[in-house]
Structures are given as structure tokens and as C-alpha cells.
Structure 1
Amino acid sequence: MRKIKYKKGRKVQPSFFDYTGSHKSVDTEMQLFVYDTHDLTECEQIQVNDIEKNIDLTKVNWLNIHGLNDVEVIKSVGNYLKVDNFMLGDILNTTKRTKLEEYHEILFFNIKSLLPIENSDNISVEQISFILKNGILVSFQEKRSDFFTHLRERIRTHSGIVREKKADYLLYLLLDAIMENFYITIENEEDRVEALIDESKTSTNPAILEQIEKHRDNFNFLKRSIIPLRDSLYSIKSMKDDVVFNAIETSNYTFFIRLHQKSLELLEQIEYDLTSLDSASNFYFSTQSHKMNEVMKTLTVVSVFFMPLTFIVGVYGMNFDNMPELHWEYGYFIILGCMLLLLVAMIVYFKKRKWY
């Protein structure tokens, strides 16, 4: 289970910024898209000083930032948009839970993007944050990834309606792309769990139970990541009737409601998968118990077979002078034959009663 580690010596102040993520070797780079239905301007490796002169407030402006190590760049972007310090702190602090905030005509949204790690049972976690203000959408990614590659191509090739919509619709598309990663992660976990369940039916290796618990932790982590996302998407509904905040067009609220429905579907699927894991654990213990019962049953039957034989041996092992059978010429062979017949009779009787 992933836990938030508290740094005892850290001083949390409004003016103090520190990137807390694990991608500290990633350089900060910026990419700017400025577009409308007719025109598109794409700026690669844009510098902070060039942002203001390239942004056109009559069009949609998407500034995508990879890498959060250069705190000064993040602060400069925040100063240009007049973003409060606590929002910048939440962008750099990757231990924060998913949340949505509306403040001073700014819509702030951060979300955890989860993807499976190849050849591993662990899950890769990246925090992605968004700031929406006055037709400008800024996305903050911890590292360069291909989450939004298809959206860039749609913008470049004028596919779909993305070039006809405003920045809030682009925010919807970006969030939807990130939520697709949840489906990929859950599907990967389900494939591994299905193979694990099949293995538990033929093997009693204790490592299977450890793997079941590992995947249960993964599903619980997914659940913990999606629940605040569900709550944040639900809170967007309350903005629909807000006459003060208009960063999202009324006609586009439907798209965010769809995202909320997706989050509910994801949670329902996770609950089902957790139930399947519980069933797998119960099946494993039941199999172990059944095999133990079979072993005990076999040992009990063998013990019962030899119990009367042991009694006979014990009787003739007593040192009494007047035991009549002691002086029979063929007494030894007769007793062995009787013991053998008794054993065969018990085996046949147990077999007919289906006791083994």
C-alpha cells in the first residue's frame, strides 16, 4: 500500500515551492498550441519570455509543460496567469489527492494517471495538473509521455470537432485520455488476476496468496485514486448554474457528466474485481483445507486398518504361561492368516462404504 511520507524538517510556506515527485532528472520543456477553426500555430521548445507574445486570447491556447524540476519556470507561468501560490504548490506536490478548485476565474484540476509497469505487478503513477483561464489551458506533466499524442494529431489534422470547440472541451478530451489509462490498468490487473486464479486451482504454492494480496493492494490503490476524481467531476455539475464562473460553456457540461459516469463504471468494475480476489482467496484456502482433509482421511483410514492388527499383536505379546495358543504347532501362521483376512475384510468393507 502506498503511503504519504511526511518530511519532518520541511517548512510549508505559501512562498516555498518544491517538486516532490520522483522524476527529478526530467528537464522542463514547454509546447504551445494556438488554434481555432481556420488557423493553427504550434510552438516547440517555447521559452517563458515567448509565451505572452505567442498567446492569442481570441483563439484556444494550450500550453503543455513536461517536467516540473525547474520551479522558476512553473512560477513564471503562474505569475503570467495570476495563479495563487497554493495552486502552484499543489502542482509541484505530487502527494496531493485528486481535486478540483474554482478560484478567481481559474479552474484548477489535478489528477493521477496510472499505468501498469511492464513485467511487474506494480503501477506507475504520474500527477497531471490543469489550469483553465480565459481560453488558456495549461497542462503540467511530470515527464514526457504519449497520453495526448492522438489529441495533438487531431488538432494538427483538424479531425473531429476539437478545433471548433473552446479550451474547456480540450480539457474534457485530456481528462478523458487520462481516464483511458485507468481502463488499461484495470484490464491488465484483471488479466493477471485471472491467470492467478487459474494457477490457484492447480497449485498450493503459498506465493499465490502473496500475489493475490499484492493485486488487492493495487485495486485498492486504484479505488483510492478514482474516488476523489469521481467527487471532483461531480462537483462540476454544481458549476452549471453558477453565473459568476463561466470557464466551461453550458453546452459542454454534458461531456464532463460523461466522465463522471465513467468514474462510476470504473469504481463498479474495481468492486467486482475485489470480490473476485476475495473469491480467489477463499478458493485457495478451501483447496488447502480440502487437501489437508484428504491427507487426514488417508492417515485415519490407514490407522484404522492397523488398529485391530495392533490389538492382536498386543494380546499375543503378553507374557502369560497359560495362553492356550502359545503351544500350537501352526499358531504363528494361523494368527498371521487371521490378521491378513481381517485386513482384507476391512479394506473391502471401507471400499463398499466409499470411505476412501
Structure 2
Amino acid sequence: MKKHHMGEWIWYALEKIEEIDQLKADVDIPIEDWHKIINEKKGNYLEMDTSIIGKESLSGSLIYNRKIEERGDYELFYFYLFDKYLITLDYHDNSLHLNKRSDIIQSASNSISSVDGFMVILGNIMTDILYHIDTYEEKLDELIWDVKEKNSTKTLDKIYQSRHEILIWKNVMMPFLELKFAIEEAFGDDVTDGRDYKRVSKRIQRGLTLVDEYEKELNNLVHFEEVVSQHRGNEIMKTLTVFTALCTPIMALGALWGMNFKYMPELDWKFGYAISLALIVLTTVLIYAYLKTRGWMGDLLKAKKKNSFFQ
């Protein structure tokens, strides 16, 4: 256990769960209840105690390192925030995957309260998340141009993959917003005057605003693809309707040909079957070629002309 004196408050940085018992001599908190939270909660969790004025507290766990490839690939740390003390437990590697811990300690030492110190930690985590969001922005920009330059079903799949990814990042950031409101609720308006509190609150809002805007862009792309698919489908149905009408006389002739009238001069043709089969094959090939050149065979989202949406 590392004990950092930050002026008017103290940060207890626990590295192992067994170190919790060492806190009994220093702080007056319900250790058993917090120990139970650590054993039972393996995701985002928040608990508030405002039963005693002047001894309000927040405790829980927070996911701080999320991978988007696998559902269970994430890390979290536990915290206990009250009065002039901040307790954190990160029993994976005690790094929080942020800056060097010495840098975090230096930043936290400038905080006027334990609440502001906790906000420093949240701010560093948000900085890491925003880095991933910036990387996501580059992929989204590439995807927007793919829709115009090489649109296909694969592009549509990429859109939905990106849509899922932005939902994950939104899910990661929502607990930060909940923590911000919970801190105000538990400790009152006085804590909102802190410099770090204001700074990190803006950072959280910035991240959520970016995610909301990217989500709107993706929804527009999905709607765009739906319009393109609907237009292509309508074109196909219109042409098939006309094509069926044009083929009606031919089908009528075929029906008459199959009535087996007594006088049918073509019955004496030596290559009658060969000519009929060749005509059928030729007609089929011509129809297929026509549909292919119109772009109605295969992928409905792929345009025939480069950089064209509907042709």
C-alpha cells in the first residue's frame, strides 16, 4: 500500500486486495462492505452513502481499459471517496494504463480536495479514451469516402461495425457522467468549484458530445445506404415489369406452338431442335448481359459508374 499526502487530503493507492485490512488503523470506513463490493462487482458499480452529514462517501468500481474486440476484455479499478481521503485499488497492474503514476501523483498533489484528486484520475482515463476516439474519427472519415468511391455490401458491414464500436465507447463513457453527477449529489455544490472538477467535467462532456455526433453521422450513412438500396430495387422491379410485358407475345407464340396442330411445317426441319436450343441459349445470354450491364446482377449497393450513387 502506498500512502500519498496531498496537503489537505490523502490518497491510499492499494496494489493488492489484501492491503485493505491495513486501512483500519488509518481511516474509519466500513471495510467489510467495501471488501464485499470488490469480491462481487466485476463491472461498473456505484454506491453512495449520505446518511451522516459531513461523512458522505462514494464507492464502487469503474472500467478504465476496454478492448472493443472481445466482450470480456477489460480492466477495472475500485475506489472509495470520502471526506479528505481517496482510496483506489487496481490489483491488475496498478498502472491504470495512463501516464506514469508519478505524473498522476504530481497532478493530484495540486488538487485542493480528494474529490478533485479523484477527478484527476478520471481525467487521465478520459484522455486515454479520447485518444481512441481520435483514431476512430480517422476510420470514420475513410468510411464516409468509401460509400462514394467503392460502395458495396462490405462497406455496409463496415458501417455497422463502426456503429457497434461507437456504442461501446459511449457505454464506456456513460459511467463517467454518472460519477460526475453522483459527486455533486453526495458532496454538494462546493466541490464543483474545484479547478480539476471543472476541467474534467468539460472533458467528459467533450467526449460524450463527440460520440453523439459520430453516432449521428453513422445513422446518416445507414439511412443513405437504405435509400440507395431502395432506389436500385425499384429500378429492378420496374424493368422486370416492362420486360415481362414485352415477353408476353413471345410466350403466347410458344403456347400456340405447343398446341400440336395438324399442319406444322417446322416438324420436317432437320436441325429444328438444335436451332430452338441455340435460340434459347442466345436469348438467355443476351438477357443476362443486359441485366449485368445495368448493374442489376449481384451487389445492389455497388454502382455501375465510378463515384456515382444511383447509376
Instruction: Within 5 Å, give how 1:332-347 maps onto structure 2.
Output: none
Residue 247 of structure 2, aligned match among 302, 306, 314:
306
2:3 to 15, 32, 55: 32
Matched, 1:171 2:118: yes
The match for 1:74 is 20
| Structure 1 unmatched runs, 5+ | 1-29, 37-58, 241-247, 327-342, 344-353
* Displacement after TM superposition at 1:81 (Å): 0.8
Q: Distance in 1 between matches of 2:234 and 2:251?
A: 25
Alignment of 1:220-231 (within 5 A): 221-222=171-172, 224-231=174-181
After TM superposition, give the deviation of residue 228 of structure 1 in Å. Answer: 1.9
Aligned position for 1:141: 90
Shift of 1:254: 4.8
Tell me the residue number matched to 2:79: 129
- The verdict on how the C-alpha distance between 1:183 and 1:255 changes in structure 2, with shifts beyond 3 A counting, is same
8 Å contact kept, 2:111–2:196 = no
Cα distance per residue 1:123-176 (max 9 Å; x no partner): 634134143444x432222422254535623756xxx79458454543332232
Q: Which residue type is aligned with residue 122 of structure 2?
A: L
The 2-side partners of 1:61 and 1:230 are apart by: 21
Q: Deviations over 1:100-143 (max 9, x none)?
A: 5455635434452444438x365634134143444x43222242
Aligned 1:1-356 pairs, distance under 5 A: 30-34=1-5, 60-68=9-17, 70=18, 73-78=19-24, 80-84=26-30, 85-94=32-41, 95-102=43-50, 105=55, 107-110=57-60, 112-117=62-67, 120=69, 124-134=74-84, 136-143=85-92, 144-147=94-97, 149-150=99-100, 152-153=102-103, 162-163=109-110, 165=112, 167-195=114-142, 202-205=151-154, 207-208=157-158, 211=161, 214-215=164-165, 217-219=167-169, 221-222=171-172, 224-235=174-185, 238-240=188-190, 252-315=193-256, 318-319=259-260
Deviations 1:222-252 (Å, cap 9, x if unpaired)?
3643442242144267242xxxxxxx6x8x5
For 2:152, the aligned partner's letter is: S
* SS across alignment from 2:45: coil
Q: Secondary structure of the residue that 1:81 maps to in structure 2?
A: coil
CA distance, structure 2, for counterparts of residue 196 and residue 121 of structure 1: 22
Per-residue Cα deviation, 1:5-41 (whole angstroms, up to 9, x for no partner):
xxxxxxxxxxxxxxxxxxxxxxxxx3333465xxxxx
Structure with higher Rg: it is: 1
Distance in structure 2 (CA, Å) of the matches to 1:230 and 1:169: 11
SS at match of 1:131: strand
User: For 2:76, what is the secondary structure of its paired residue?
Assistant: strand
Identity score, percent: 15
> In structure 2, how many angstroms separate the alpha carbons of the residues matched to 1:80 and 1:283?
61
Normalised to the residue count of structure 2, the TM-score between the two structures is 0.62
Of structures 1 and 2, the one with the larger relative CO (CA 8 A, separation 6+) is 2
Cα deviation for residue 67 of structure 1 reads 4.0
In proportion to residue count, which structure has more helix? 2
Task: Rate the CA distance shift 1:35–1:222 in 2: closer, same or farther, 3 A.
Answer: closer
Letter paired with 2:120:
L
Matches of 1:264 and 1:163 in 2, distance apart? 23
Q: Deviations over 1:298-319 (max 9, x none)?
A: 5445444433333344456555
Counterpart-to-counterpart distance in 1, 2:253 and 2:49: 87
AA of the residue aligned to 1:139: T
